[in-house]
Amino acid sequence: MKLRGYFLAGAALALSLHAQADSKIVPPEQVPAGVWKTLQSATGGARLGAIERIEEDGEVTYDTTFTSKNGGERSISVALDGSLLSLEVTPADLPPAVKKTIAEQIGDRKVTGITKETDTDGTTYDVTVTSPAGAERSLAIGEDGTLISREVSLEETPAGVQTTIKARVDDGSLDGISQTYDAGETSFDVSYTTKQGKELSFSVAPSGRLTSLEILLEDAPEPVQATIKGKVGSGKVLRVNKIFSAKQKVEGYEVESLVNGKPFDFEVSPKGKFGGADG
């Protein structure tokens, strides 16, 4: 197993994602009115840099930079409907509860970047911290100060988790580990690249038990493939996760897809029965 880039910097990850998307620079007059209004209000009417229109997986965003009042350059991303997706902020902009959680988590590291992310689930602050040696890690913190996730090294995970990760990644490359916290439960979400160059992920319980495994559509059982293809049709399958029970039996498959340009997530049983859509 090769260890590669444990601590993915937010900027590097964004560049990687944008490299796979359809993007182009557009003049202000080609920016939708709702998007332009949000750009102006969120930045306080600051002068904007080049505006990039990005289309990926059927979703369109407008990304740009602006110069803040203190002279620093920040980034901003707005959805096609004008909703604010992300805004680079400073520690002074943070709620007290978020500041407190950061102080509890960073140790001798310094905060080197903060992005305020907004979606239907609420607001999250993605915080990049850097060690004296220059190693970067990220934290995800809710607006109320709740720690949602933090990047960790392999050595910081429990022994059973390390064993599972090493066995699953095998001769591929380990890209990153995120320890996540949800409703009092902890899990370790792992991203890796196979020796064939496929970027996949899986999740592990603190005991070392594999709880979910991302697979390629063609690796799912034929009845499962047939159901997925039938439901998605001419849309796009984004992700297929195989879900395991406490006894390591396959409970089913969770599918993330786009149909008619909109997210469509659903479940399929091991025998291919449609289990209903989320939401």
On whether both 127 and 159 belong to a single domain, the answer is no
Among 7-11, 71-75, 164-168, where is mean pLDDT lowest? Answer: 7-11
SS3 per-residue string spanning 168-230: HHCCCEEEEEEEEEECCEEEEEEEEECCCCCEEEEEECCCCCEEEEEECHHHCCHHHHHHHHH
**Pick from 222, 217, 218, 201: nearest CA to 272:** 222
Answer with the one of 152, 167, 192 that is the final residue of a domain: 152
The mean per-residue pLDDT over the stretch 74-78 comes to: 96
With residue 162 as reference, give the H or E element that holds it: helix 159-169
The CATH number that applies at residue 78 is 3.10.450.360
- 66, 68, 73, 76: CA torsion to nearest 10: -50
136 occurs within a structural domain: yes
2 within a domain of the structure (yes/no): no
Residues 32 and 82 in one domain: yes
- Same domain assignment for residues 186 and 65: no
Q: Which of 132, 98, 97, 96 is nearest to 112 (CA)?
A: 132
Selected residue with higher pLDDT from 166 and 72: 166
- What is the pLDDT confidence band of residue 279, given thresholds at 50, 70 and 90? low
- Please compute the mean of the pLDDT values over residues 166-186 and round it to a whole number: 93
What are the Cα distances from residue 15, in Å, to 50, 54, 140, 177?
A: 16, 12, 19, 20
Q: What is the mean predicted confidence (pLDDT) over 5-24?
A: 48
Do 176 and 115 reside in the same domain of the chain?
no
pLDDT at 197: 93
Question: Are residues 135 and 186 located together in one domain of the fold?
Answer: no
218 pLDDT higher than 50: yes
Q: Would residue 187 count as lying in a domain?
A: yes
Q: Residue 151, exposed/middle/buried by CB under 10 A (0-12, 13-18, 19+)?
A: buried
Q: What is the pLDDT of residue 71?
A: 73
Please state, in angstroms and rounded to a whole number, the distance separating the CA atoms of residues 146 and 161.
Answer: 24
Band the pLDDT of 2: cuts 50, 70, 90.
low
Count of the separate structural domains present in the chain: 2
User: Do both 103 and 190 map to the same domain?
Assistant: no
Q: Are residues 147 and 249 in the same domain?
A: no
Judgement on whether residues 133 and 198 belong to the same structural domain of the protein: no
Domain boundary among 90, 123, 152: 152
pLDDT of amino acid 20: 55
Q: Indicate the pLDDT class of residue 59, thresholds 50, 70 and 90.
A: confident
Choose among 94, 96, 89: nearest CA to 69. 89
Asked whether residue 12 falls in the same domain as residue 140, the answer is: yes
Per-residue pLDDT of 107-117, as tens digits, reads 999 999 999 99
246-270: average pLDDT: 93
Domain boundary among 152, 176, 198: 152
Does residue 229 lie in a domain region? yes
**Assigned token pair, 2:** 């090769």
1 has pLDDT over 80: no
Q: Say yes or no: 247 and 198 in one domain.
A: yes
Tokens representing residue 268 in the block: 């399929």
Average pLDDT over residues 205-233: 97
Q: Which domain holds residue 254?
A: 154-277
Q: What residues pair up with 145 in beta bridges, in sequence order?
A: none
Band (pLDDT 50/70/90 cuts) for residue 17 is very low
> What does the pLDDT read at residue 241?
97
Tokens 């001798």 map to which residue?
Answer: 108
Q: Flag whether 1 is in a domain.
A: no
Written as six digits, the tokens of 109 are 């590291």
Q: 254 by DSSP, 3-state: which?
A: strand
Q: Do 125 and 189 reside in the same domain of the chain?
A: no
Report the pLDDT value the prediction gives residue 51, as an integer from 0 to 100: 97
The mean predicted confidence, pLDDT, of the chain is 90
Q: Are residues 128 and 161 in the same domain?
A: no
Helix (H, G, I), strand (E, B) or coil at 84: strand
